[in-house]
Structures are given as C-alpha cells and as structure tokens.
Structure 1
C-alpha cells in the first residue's frame, strides 16, 4: 500500500565539482558516467572527496557495490525523485547512501515514507500520515530511529570496510487490520464491521501506538440535549481517562477525549457490569448505588478523592480482596427498565414501607436491583459529595428475569 507524501528534496546544487565535466564510476559490473553537477547535487560525499583531488579527476572510481542499487542512486544524483520498491530495497539504498555519504538521500530515506512488512505484505505510507499529536511517537518512529543509525557510529563497527546487512521492519501482525488502520488515517472515516472487528482494531492501535486513532475507534456517542442545550458524550467506564475528566460544583462532570476533542462535553458514563446494584432501603425510604469488585476499584480510582466511608476494601480469609463502593443516587430523570418493563417515574418509592400492594410480597429491609446496563451523569453537590444522576438503566430483581434475558446460542 502506498500513499503520497509532502516531502520535498532541495534542488539546489552547490559548486563543488565543475558542472560540465564527466566522471567515470565503476559500480560492480557496470560503468556509470555522471557530470560534476550530478555528483555535486548531494555533497560532500564519497565521490566529491575522491574526484575533488586533482590527481583523481580523470581516473575511474571502482567500488564493489551493487550496480542495481546504484542505478537508483544515480537517478537521485541526476535530480529525479526516487522511491524504494519495497522495504528490502529501502535497506539496500540506505546502506549504500551511508557508504557513499549521500546526506540528501539519507534524509529522504529516513524522513519520507515508512516502509514495513506486516503479515507478509509490503506497505509504504508517508510519515506525516502518523505524525499528528497522539499518533506520534509510535512503533515506526522508534523502529526507524533504531534502524537508521549509521553502522559507522557504533563503536564495534567503526573499522568495517562496508555497511553490514540490515534487516527491514517486519511485524508479525494482521496485514488486513493494518490496511484498515491506514485507510482510517488517510480518509478520516472509521469503517467497523462489528464489535469483534472494533476490538481487533483497538488492539492494533495500541500495539502501534496510534493513540489518537484509538480514541476515535473507542465506542462513544455525541449528541446535544435539547433541554439543557449542552453537548453530551456517552463513554464506557473502562474507556474514560481520569486526567481528561473535570468535576466541579458548577454542574455535571465534563469529559474531553485526549488528542481528538477540542472542547469538553457533559459525560454520560456507561456501566456494563454485573457488579452494579441499586439498593432500595425499604424501612429508611432511601436508595443508593453499590458497586463491587473491579467496577468499584475502577470508579474509586476515576473519581477520587472520595469520602472514606464510601469505599471499603476487605481482605477475606482466603486472601482475596472484597471491594465495595457506595454512591449517592438520583433517579428523578432516569428512564428505567425493570424486569423487562418500563417503569413509571419514582417507581422505587413503591418499595418503601407502606408502599404499593404490588411490592408487599418482596420481603427484606433492602431490595437489590441488579443493574445489567446503566448510564449516569456525575454531579458534585452537598459540599463536594458526588451524586450519580440516572439517565438510562436496565435492571432485574431475580434470577428468573435474568435468565429470561439470556437467549439461546
């Protein structure tokens, strides 16, 4: 795969050798004739150093290198734009450009395109395609910095008479997924076939360190709330970055995705976990949220500092750690589905002492509603206490209703 590049070679020719004079260079089994203008184009070099000495002006310079590789170098010296056909030819050109001290060519080879082999396929793409904030530094910037170190700068190789063989960048990853990433980077359009494909693309983004592209691939939804006239962004709990979250007393928490967002939006936090419960305290006429396990730990890390009495971590006899996080909750504007049925506003009050006759068969001081999926905004009020304001929630009261949601394979 190949894309265009913005790289430009400096066309100026310094006055090093007489422009009109022709010089003879024997490379391998072929004799090349180049003008002083062509040799001076990329100078100082091995050639200008040799032919610049008066006693060598009419001599034939003989070098035991590949004539096929030098054929392209010759075109470069004559002012043509050259491109390596693949990652292996790139390394051959780089080795000989190093050997002949051709600085313009070395600069072009190291700053123009990225060449690599991914999953058995050759790729060539412009370096500025992945040069933006968040996508750089990346796998290829680091690989090129390592690959394009002159072998003569290494202490153990300072006395070698020619560059040692250098291998190109070969990555044992999916060629198809890499093609998808390059298409997304070049067109700005994210094409995702299904959620499995999305997870694969996200894994590839993290491997290559295309972090800005990763943010665009992360599931999210942006819309304007017609009642508050504020833009909202729905993001899953696992994908929220703490340093991009802002919680103040002025309103709901806002979130600004790294590298891709220019402004912050009201965060609607989506939680997809069996570790979330809505607890209805029937005697106290009170409701709160309870998170356990990894969900509790993730929320505590994301929202800290929190009141110490809200988070509890206990080491059990078997050595495992039990984590719990309790949060204040408001369901005034929440669209709630319970046991597969949409509820009325303030439905939970029917469970309070002396509530609806339909709920009297449910015994206990605390009724545990398991939240399968839910969305929340986070507000700071009551002297800095955090409240979860329900937006959308789906919960069940018992195993039978949970099983009803299973479906068959």
Structure 2
C-alpha cells in the first residue's frame, strides 16, 4: 500500500533571527546547535521567543525533554520531511511540537497520516485514503479531532512545566480485518474469502464508518438484461436504502447505491425469509403475496406510503403484534421451482377451480406456497398500485418438502 500523501511543507523561512548565527539548545543530555535559519523555519515558536530577546541571544536554552524526540524535531527545523515511526512516537512528537509551538510540524503530524494501533499492531495510512464521500467523516476523523485538541491552545495549562502524557489511538478490533479494509481502500479490489468473512468485513466497515466501502462489500449482482437492454442490480431486502429507491409509473423501480453508483439501475429485490408466502386462491382464481412479521414491516417501511392500505398491524391478546402485508403479484416471466422441481409457465392455474387432476389432493380455498427464496422487480400500475413481478423463486407446499431441503450437518 502506498504511503505517499499530498502534504507539502512550506519551504519559506521567515526572517526572524539572523540566518547565519548559531544558537545552542540543551535537550536532555544532548546539546544541539542550530542556525538562525533553522530556528526561524517554524516560527513564531518557543525558540524564537527565547532567542529573540536581546539578553538571551548568546545563552544556552535548556529544556528538560527527550533528546531522541528532539532529534527528529531538529531535522524538521533543518528542512527535512520527518515521519513518526509509530503511534507512540507520533504522540511524543505532537506533545513536544505543541510545547514548542511548532505549527508547521503540528500541521504535518495531524494532517498527513493516521496512526493507530489495532489489535496490537501499528498502522500508518494516508488520511486521503479514507477522505472520500461516504468514508468520511469516520472513526479516525472524530478520534483525531478529540485526541489533538491541545489544552495549550486554550490556555488551560499555563502553569504546567511540561506537556501531559497523551495516549495514542488504540482499538480493540481485528488487525487482520483492518488490513483487509485498508487493502480494499488502496487497491479498489474487494477480496472476500467466504460469506462469514464478508459479514466480518461489513461489521468493521460500520464500526469505522467506512460507509462507501460498506456498499461495495454488500452482496449484489449487476448485469444487463438482454431483453430489456437495461442494467439490473440484485440486492437483498435488508440492504436496500429507502432514500436511494425510486418508484414511478413509467417502469420498474430503480435503485442507486449511496456513495458508490453514478446511475440508478432496475432493482431486483431478493427476499430470503420464512415470512413470505405465495397464496393461490383456488375459487377466486388469482394469486397474491403475503409477508408477515419483520419482513412485512421492512417492506412497508421501504414502500410506504405507497399501498399502505395493504398493510395490517394487529395487537393480539397476549400483547404481541401481528403484522401482514399483501402485495399484488405477476408470475408471467418468473422461473419458479416448487418442491424441488422446475415448474411450467402459469403453473399456478392448475390449482384454480376445475384445474389439473394432479392438484386435487390439495384441498382448501387458499393454497399456501412457502417461499424460501425469491427475487422480484417492483412496478407501479393500475392507478398507482404496486405489483411484484416475479423473476426467480423457490418454494415448497408442505413440511415434507421443506424437510427434504434441510440436509444433514
């Protein structure tokens, strides 16, 4: 992963002290000799304030701080680009840069890279890597704003002789998963080992607020329908954002993933739930969809206020809430698997009154087909009524056929 950034240090040196004059600074156990040009490079500062006074220009400034940390600060003053080796050195440099009021160095330290410790491993990555729309503001922008609110700038530590110790950003999350996220952000390639790995990565995206990367990781499929010549996106019901869904009377509903998609595509909604049924009304000769529970509530939230009159929420005697959503449905172009077998077109008509002899063993005015998995497009027609147009579905008629699908551990 590239560690280059756009940050540039201003090379101009203000004429504060005589450039050719040498100044002595004793830091810890070491004596540093710096030219007036170096001392003036990042000014006004603690040093220019001291040596700028006539009575101090030939004195040795003694500072009770770490000479190892000041070694890098000295390189900065001499015009070199410096970089902290890890999150702890960053905090040491920041504390002393604050103490010495070195604004150029402070800017570089806080606006160049993000430093953190995740799961016991040190990370350093360019802030630009997570600065795009949807990925910012994020965990690190907030953490840095909190961590680097120096009390010196607020005048709260006037009588303190040295900066207080500050801890770096330490995150008790998976270092491996964080590495995977950084690789995805830097390369643009999403590498997912399996569905469990995907769920873990999605959880990490939400924790760090990498919302654009989250949208790329969400399971989906984009393809062009050769018959309509329209691009379609298949995405699960739970992952659809209402604000990004558009339903008009002119055609099927379209969807544009937030922060990721430049254009909207025809939405193919995938539903995997035990709360979905296809109801075949034998005497009335029509079919409709019934969703219950959380699936009904999710669909109602997504589609309301459209077809709100088809939604029912009833409080039962035990205090529980029973929710139902009925939808009009078209299966004309749906590839349907029933009880593990592919059906013919308009197969459901065999259940209507006077239908096929093969269906006579199923009694009742309503045949309930439990939909294990299904995909639908959503259309608005018939005075604004919503219709679910079947694309792909897999259902069972009874417990035995459901059990046949279980499989063994």
Q: Provide the TM-score with structure 2 as the length reference.
A: 0.98
- Quickly say closer, same or farther: Cα 1:325–1:155, change in 2 above 3 A: farther
**Which whole-Å CA distance do the structure 2 matches of 1:88 and 1:12 have between them?**
30
Q: CA 1:158–1:387 in 2, change beyond 3 Å: closer, same or farther?
A: farther
* Aligned counterparts of 1:157 and 1:366: Cα–Cα separation in 2: 78
Whether contact under 8 Å (1:151, 1:158) holds in the other structure is no
Residue 306 (structure 1) shift: 2.8
Aligned 8 A contact 1:151 1:163 in 2 = no
- Mapped pair 1:161 → 2:161: yes
Change in 2 beyond 3 A, CA 1:307/1:381:
same
The alignment partner of 2:309 has SS state of coil
Give the whole-Å Cα distance in 2 for the aligned partners of 1:42 and 1:254: 55
The structural deviation recorded for 1:16 is 1.1
Which whole-Å CA distance do the structure 2 matches of 1:22 and 1:170 have between them?
41
How far did residue 309 of structure 1 move?
2.9
Distance in 2 (CA, whole Å) between partners of 1:115 and 1:51 is: 34
Q: Cα distance, 1:78 vs. partner?
A: 0.6
Q: 2:160 & 2:86 partners in 1: Cα distance? A: 26
For 2:257, the equivalent position in structure 1 comes to 257
Q: Deviations over 1:132-168 (max 9, x none)?
A: 0000000000000000011224565343222111000
What are the superposed Cα offsets for residues 62-115 of structure 1, whole Å, 9 maximum, x if unpaired? 111110100000001111111111100000000000000000000001100000
Unaligned runs of 5+ in 2: none
Return the alpha-carbon distance in structure 2 between the equivalents of residues 331 and 314 of structure 1.
Answer: 29
How big is the shift at 1:2? Answer: 7.2
Structure 1 residue runs of 4 or more that deviate by more than 4 Å after TM superposition? none
- C-alpha displacement of 1:10: 1.2
Counterparts of 1:130 and 1:158 in 2: how far apart (Å)? 36
Aligned position for 1:242 = 242
The CA deviation at 1:176 is 0.4
Task: Figure out how many residues of one structure are paired with residues of the other and give that number.
Answer: 409
**Structure 1 segment 2-401 matched on structure 2, within 5 A:** 3-154=3-154, 156-401=156-401
Per-residue deviation, 1:38: 0.8
Shift, 1:55, TM fit: 1.6
Deviations, residues 249-295 of structure 1 (Å, cap 9, x unaligned): 01000000000000000000000101000000000001000000000
Task: Let me know the Cα RMSD of the aligned residues.
Answer: 1.0
The structural deviation recorded for 1:377 is 0.3
| Larger deviation, residues 8-17 vs 276-285 | 8-17
Cα contact 1:23–1:58 (8 A) shared by 2:
yes
Cα distance between partner residues in 1 of 2:191 and 2:18: 56
Q: Deviations for 1:340-373, whole angstroms, at most 9, x for unmatched residues?
A: 1111100000000000111111100000000000
Identify the range of structure 1 (287-296 vs 148-157) with the bigger mean alpha-carbon deviation.
Answer: 148-157
Measured in 2, the distance between the counterparts of 1:355 and 1:9 equals 82
Q: Partners in 1 of 2:158 and 2:19 — Cα distance?
A: 33
Q: Shift of residue 205 of structure 1? A: 0.2
3-state SS of 1:266 partner: strand
| 1:156 aligned counterpart, secondary structure | coil
Partner Cα distance (1:226, 1:102) in 2 = 63
Three-state SS of the structure 1 residue aligned to 2:82 is coil
Alpha carbons 2:212, 2:259 under 8 Å: kept: yes
Give the superposition deviation at 1:3. Answer: 2.4
DSSP-derived class of the 2:350 partner: helix
CA distance in 1, matches of 2:155, 2:290: 62
Is the Cα contact below 8 Å between 1:205 and 1:211 reproduced in 2? yes
Contact 2:331 2:390 in 1 (8 A): yes
Task: Quickly say closer, same or farther: Cα 1:156–1:53, change in 2 above 3 A.
Answer: closer
* SS of residue matched to 2:388: strand
- CA distance 1:45–1:156, shift in 2 (3 Å): closer
Distance 1:265 1:385 in 2: 21
Where 1:336 maps in the other structure, the secondary structure is strand
Contact 1:117 1:123 in 2 (8 A): yes
Q: CA deviation at 1:317?
A: 1.3
Distance 1:226 1:40 in 2: 69
Q: How big is the shift at 1:233?
A: 0.3
Contact 1:184–1:190 (8 Å) recurs in 2: yes
Q: Is this contact kept in 1: 2:307–2:386, CA < 8 A?
A: no
Q: TM-score, normalised by structure 1?
A: 0.98
Q: Which deviates further from its counterpart, 6-15 or 362-371?
A: 6-15
